[in-house]
Amino acid sequence: MKLVWVAALLAVATASVVKDDQFSVLIGKEPLVNLDIKTKELCIMKLLNHILQPTMYEDIREVAREFVLEENLDKYLQVDVVKKFIYMFKMGMLPRGEIFVHTNELHIEQAVMVFRLLYFAKDFDTFLRTACWLRERINGGMFVYALTCAVFHRTDCRGIIIPAPYEIYPYFFVDSHIINKAFMMKMTRAAKDPVIQDYYGIKVTDNNLVVIDWRKGLRHVLSEDDKISYFTEDIDLNTYMYYLHMSYPYWMTDDAYGLQKERRGEVMMYAYQQLLARLRLERLARGMCDIKMLMWNDVQENGYWPKIRLPTGDEMPVRQNNVKLITQNNLDDRILLDNIEKIIREGILTGQILRRDGTVISLKKPEDVEYLCRLILGGMGMQHDDAKVIHVTNLIKKLLSYSVYNVDNYTYVPTALDMYTTCLRDPLFWRVMKRIVENVVLFKKLLPRYTRSEFDFPGVKVERLVTDKLVTFMDEYDMDITNALYLDESEMQKKRSDMTYVARMRRLNHHPFKVTLDVVSEKAVDAVVRIFIGPKYDCMGRLLNVNDKRLDMVEIDSFLYKLDTGKNTIVRNSIDMHGVIMDRPWTRNLFGLGTTTTTTINSDRVVDNWWYKTRLGFPHRLLLPLGRLGGLPLQMFVVVTPVREGYVLPTIDMGIMKDRRVCRWTTCIDNMPLGFPFDREIDINRFYTNNMKFADIMVFRKDLALSNTVKDIDLSDMVMKRDDLTYLDTDMLVRWSYKDVMLMSTDQMRRM
């Protein structure tokens, strides 16, 4: 066994920033199975760097050549897994260079085999060698998917922070014109040409940072849904969706993974419901009414133009306006879906569903919502076979995609719906989510309403609920897209790109705020505090009652608090709220090795905190919807309840969820249903108790000129900006000169 590759693995974190000798002092000091977290991160980052190309690192290539799977069967916990993979590999897998699609059954079947090979490696040494072997032999997208999932679920990978998916595969997160300009800059090397830079909206700094302004160029829209594209196309929101899937893959039904002992189904379904509620607030802020549930026989009025170029050069398909969803090509899928949805809804009404193996799924008690959610979103096999799961969402995606026109099983051009990294961009997916969530809404309607004793907390009273002034704005963020470009021969030798390419985007943000509660308690007791924000009026300006808006309440914070006797003043800073994350650091800055405009993370960071938040956190800057200049009227709600048990399945293990750092919302605090007290229809006569309180809030918007987060590079000469909504309200404004105006005809000027 050669140890040379170990030294090289420690030599470079990311090719574009780390010099070859920066970590040479670590050569041979530790055995590979006892590496610290930082070193493991370096190894993973190296495997994921420039995934579109064969690896540039000799050490990885050497390990890939020397490691033989057939000769190392004893290094895996399940030998059959290795044998099945070897057979599949020899029979042929997804070719390298093709697009790995998350909803393609063949692609996922192969990716699951790759994941199992990585997951069942006995130690980190075998895991890393297997990853090197795979990096050089299988499809890049499949490798990223399987490796990311393995890092999420292996115990010896806990604490590892992996690069954000938008840095690994920028193609799925930025518009195609950005990729085109980056390629143009790299090929022409026009870094010093001011005419080219001004024409294309590009700035080049002294430290070889190429800034491509996302707003430069025409902005085409197809429907009113594009008004909130700043939210649905947000890179962190789509990363959140992708990481939710990575935390609970629908195909991971084997008890060997331990996910069956977690509230996986309820967490995923509540995440869907919360995303829909958050979308409702954003639409309300823009004067738009709520979305409608997807109906098969309706014509889809609003199309979607992804503006995404795939690594193969193909453009992600456009769905035009006024498209008929059901045709002769997908009628079979429609019939299958109708039958499955009929079985599920009848099961909800009757209280049970019969599985193919003869067992019965009970849907009668409140805790049975876990079974229902697993049945709809995967995670529950209909037979004793990992592959036999019903994933209604994926069936709907298949119905709505264009897979019928594929040339063969591997040549697949995905739509935005087909990828977990892009599905939130498509307005149609939100309608799909609403159709899925309605099954759980029906289930909850058949449950008894909460009693007053379930709402109440005797001896506890919320006297005051106040917040700071809530101010939102559009700021600028530089997204590293260097991995979208191919390295030339000289860069491959240097193992880094000569230039760092970033896309400067506009995104929603808000100033940190504090929520202050005054709670009076008659005794010292542990309490669970839940804080929500939701609408006060609907899109027509009508006042909403509790039942009208209960499904639109966004849970922004939930935490355990020990109340003392007497008055308790609880202050929650928004940046410390449960389950939120601040900006992810650039990978090249993670260890303070790069010089950029983003914040670096010191090597002595708190690993557990960053790992937890980076993996699963909801973006902090998206807690509030875009406000209005005069204020957007909303309501905040807080409820303080005792720590309760008894509402979840006896098989659920809080300890496993705590150990895996997947404590979403109140799953590791108490056993009340997620969304309590708004998850069931409310009897108004029982609802209002002393331990809860509503408060009116206003969310304001600040102009871009007043924002303190604008980058230091002045791009004002590129775009005419009235305020931070300019790029949302109109197409990109063209800069007219006096000469241009003189050449215009009278009719042209009148039309302007």
Q: In this structure, what token pair is assigned to residue 702?
A: 């600040």
DSSP element (H, E) containing 532: strand 525-535
Q: Is the pLDDT of residue 568 over 50?
A: yes
Q: Is the pLDDT of residue 658 over 70?
A: yes
pLDDT of 736 reads: 35
- The alpha carbon torsion through 170, 171, 175, 177 (nearest 10 deg) reads 100
Q: Up-side HSE of residue 35: CA atoms within 13 Å toward CB?
A: 27
Q: In this structure, what token pair is assigned to residue 548?
A: 């009208």
Q: Is the pLDDT of residue 18 over 60?
A: no
**What is the identity of the amino acid at 176?**
S
Q: What is the DSSP letter of 312?
A: T
pLDDT of 432 reads: 94
Among 527, 530, 515, CA closest to 564: 527
pLDDT of 604 reads: 42
Task: Give the residue range(s) of CATH 1.10.1280.10 domains in the chain.
Answer: 224-445
Average pLDDT over residues 46-53: 92
Do β-strands 525-535 and 632-642 pair in parallel, antiparallel, or remain unpaired?
A: antiparallel
pLDDT of 258 reads: 86
> What integer best gives the mean pLDDT of the chain?
84
Among 134, 47, 43, 46, CA closest to 96: 134
Whether omega before 677 lies within 30 degrees of 0, making that bond cis, reads yes
Helix (H, G, I), strand (E, B) or coil at 347: helix
pLDDT of 381 reads: 64
**What is the identity of the amino acid at 209?**
L
Q: Are 190 and 196 in contact (CB under 8 A)?
A: yes
Q: In this structure, what token pair is assigned to residue 411?
A: 């040549």
**CATH class (in words) of the domain with range 224-445:** mainly alpha
Distance CA 389, CA 643 (A): 35
Residue 53 or 36, more confident? 53
Q: Residue 191's pLDDT band (boundaries 50, 70, 90)?
A: low
Distance CA 260, CA 264 (A): 7
Tens of pLDDT, residue by residue over 589-628, are 765 444 343 333 333 444 456 666 667 889 999 999 999 9
Q: Up-side HSE of residue 265: CA atoms within 13 Å toward CB?
A: 26
Least confidently predicted of 4-8, 149-153, 465-469, 485-489: 4-8
What fold characterizes domain 4-163? Hemocyanin, N-terminal domain (1.20.1370)
Query: What is the model's pTM?
Result: 0.89
Average pLDDT over residues 106-134: 95
Tens of pLDDT, residue by residue over 121-179, are 999 999 999 999 999 999 999 999 999 999 999 999 988 889 999 999 999 999 999 99
Percent of the chain with pLDDT over 90: 56
Do β-strands 209-213 and 500-510 pair in parallel, antiparallel, or remain unpaired?
A: parallel
Distance CA 212, CA 578 (A): 34
Q: How many CB atoms lie within 10 A of CB 513?
A: 19
By 3-state DSSP, what share of the chain in percent is helix, strand and coil, each rounded to 5? 40, 15, 40
Percent of the chain with pLDDT over 70: 83
Residue whose pair of structure tokens reads 């490691």 in the numeric block: 67
Q: How far is CA 213 from CA 104, 254, 295, 683, in A?
A: 34, 46, 39, 52
Tens of pLDDT, residue by residue over 241-294, are 999 999 999 999 888 888 889 999 999 999 999 999 999 999 999 999 999 998
Task: Give the residue range(s) of CATH 1.20.1370.10 domains in the chain.
Answer: 4-163
Average pLDDT over residues 675-686: 94
Q: Are 663 and 577 in contact (CB under 8 A)?
A: no
